[in-house]
Structure 1
Amino acid sequence: MQLFSASASPFARKCRVVLIETGQDDVEVRDVTANPLGGDAELNAANPSGKIPALLRDEGPALYDSRVITRFLDDRAGSNLYPQSRLWEVLALEANGDAIMEAALGITYEKRLRPENLWWPEWFDAQWTKIARSLDALESRSMPLLEGPVNMGQIGVGCALGYLDLRHDDRNWRDGRDILAKWEAAFSERPAMVATKP
């Protein structure tokens, strides 16, 4: 199997973290170019939307969308990153992490793909408001879900916070979120997080 990935993509990083956490070293990770304005032809053939990650399986069609791939990899390894006893909470936590990534990526693409004179400041502010609300929700009501054995919600949030550090460190997401910042500092030391840090 092959995982189409990019080192800076937080969505692909989720999948790479799962591979390491579950010991699936038989999956080849391939860096490809993805871009909303075009991208790698092989990636586009695997995933019609042209987005990463995409997982080429030895048998069966390619899988895409990070949440589909992580569920597949978790099932393949029998690793219980989606524990049945907390399934809905873990899925919601993972969705919160994905929402942070989507909004942060929206800001990144606006800055990368449009000339500076066409940047839309209101767009930046609206996307950051979504991120801030999500971070505040994590700080105020989701910390119990971030504790305990590693699960996919924790991985998703960890990758989202790492992406904020990579692309939006000037926004200082840690300000006023001491509990979440302390959790992130510890979680980022997991070997899988260290190995996949962009």
Structure 2
Amino acid sequence: MILLYTEASPFARKCRLCIAELGAGQDIALRDVGAVSPLAANAAASAQAPLGKIPVLVRPGQAALYDSPVICEYLDAVWQGSLFPADGEARWRALALQALADGAMETAVALRYEAVFRGNGSGDDPWVVRQTARLTSAVDAMARAVADFAPAPTIGELSVASALGYLDLRFEEIAWRRGQAALAAWFDSFAARPSMQSTAPTL
């Protein structure tokens, strides 16, 4: 199998975290497809996924899988992991946390595209103000949930770590740690995991 990714993508990092946590690295090749732009198709991604987005998991003899929630759940099933709790409240908590973090990442990536490709990163722009408020609200929700984070990471914690790591990478000005001591302490501790160290973007 081959994972098509870009180093800076928080969604791709989530998949790479799953691969590392599951010990699947020897069986899945990582292929960096280069820049992905909302203004032009990426040939490698578009050849495998109709929307041309990454990440994409290319499977020999089978249809490619996308997007990150599908890829991560597939990997967990194949490697018989425990990133997705089987049932009960633990499952819904993990999935809800993943949805929260994915929403934050979608918002952050949209803000990044707005700043880079349209030159509109102004804090006075109503759209930018609204999206930034959504990010702040998401971080607040993560902070309220941090006391219940699972000691053995699920897809929820991996998604939150990917989201916060992306904010560190691209949105230093948002200063998400301000007033969020417990969440920041959790993230700093989690960031020491080998999976986090090996997937940290260098861009």
Same fold (TM over 0.5): yes
Q: Is the 1:35–1:51 Cα contact (8 Å) retained in structure 2?
A: no
Q: Is the 1:53–1:65 Cα contact (8 Å) retained in structure 2?
A: yes
Q: Structure 1 residues 118, 172: closer, same or farther in 2, change over 3 A?
A: closer
Q: Is the 2:122–2:128 Cα contact (8 Å) retained in structure 1?
A: no
Alignment match of 2:98 (pick from 94, 110, 115): 94
Q: Secondary structure at the match of 1:30?
A: strand
Q: Take 2:95 and 2:148, find their aligned partners in 1: how far apart are those partners?
A: 11
Q: Take 2:65 and 2:177, find their aligned partners in 1: how far apart are those partners?
A: 34
Deviation at 1:118, TM superposition (A): 9.3
Deviations 1:132-175 (A, max 9, x none): 111111212x1233232111100000000000000001110000
Q: Aligned pair 1:164/2:194, yes or no?
A: no
- Matched-pair identity in %: 39
Q: Structure 1 residues 120, 64: closer, same or farther in 2, change over 3 A?
A: farther
Q: Take 1:14 and 1:118, find their aligned partners in 2: how far apart are those partners?
A: 29
* Residue in 2 that maps onto 1:57: 59
Deviation at 1:120, TM superposition (A): 7.4
What TM-score comes out, normalization by structure 2 length?
0.92
Greater shift in the superposed pair: 184-193 or 30-39: 30-39
Q: Take 1:115 and 1:83, find their aligned partners in 2: how far apart are those partners?
A: 42
Q: Aligned pair 1:21/2:24, yes or no?
A: no
Relative to total residues, which structure has the larger helix share, 1 or 2?
A: 1
Amino acid at match of 2:32: D
1:102-113 aligned within 5 A = 102-113=106-117
Q: Is the 2:123–2:129 Cα contact (8 Å) retained in structure 1?
A: no
Q: Structure 1 residues 45, 180: closer, same or farther in 2, change over 3 A?
A: same
List alignment gaps of at least 5 residues for structure 1. none
Q: Secondary structure at the match of 1:38?
A: coil
Greater shift in the superposed pair: 101-110 or 114-123: 114-123
Q: Is the 2:142–2:160 Cα contact (8 Å) retained in structure 1?
A: no
Alignment match of 2:41 (pick from 22, 39, 55): 39
Q: Give the RMSD, CA atoms, in angstroms.
A: 1.6
Q: Is the 1:35–1:50 Cα contact (8 Å) retained in structure 2?
A: no
Q: Take 1:93 and 1:118, find their aligned partners in 2: how far apart are those partners?
A: 29
- Count of paired positions: 197
Greater shift in the superposed pair: 34-43 or 88-97: 34-43
Deviations 1:37-79 (A, max 9, x none): 1232121021111111001101311101100000001111101
What TM-score comes out, normalization by structure 1 length?
0.94
Which of structure 1's runs of 4+ aligned residues deviate more than 4 A? 116-120
Q: Take 1:50 and 1:38, find their aligned partners in 2: how far apart are those partners?
A: 10
Q: Take 1:165 and 1:118, find their aligned partners in 2: how far apart are those partners?
A: 19
* Residue in 2 that maps onto 1:9: 9
Q: Secondary structure at the match of 2:163?
A: helix
Q: Take 1:6 and 1:128, find their aligned partners in 2: how far apart are those partners?
A: 24
Q: Take 2:123 and 2:138, find their aligned partners in 1: how far apart are those partners?
A: 24
* Residue in 1 that maps onto 2:198: 195
Alignment match of 1:143 (pick from 141, 146, 150): 146
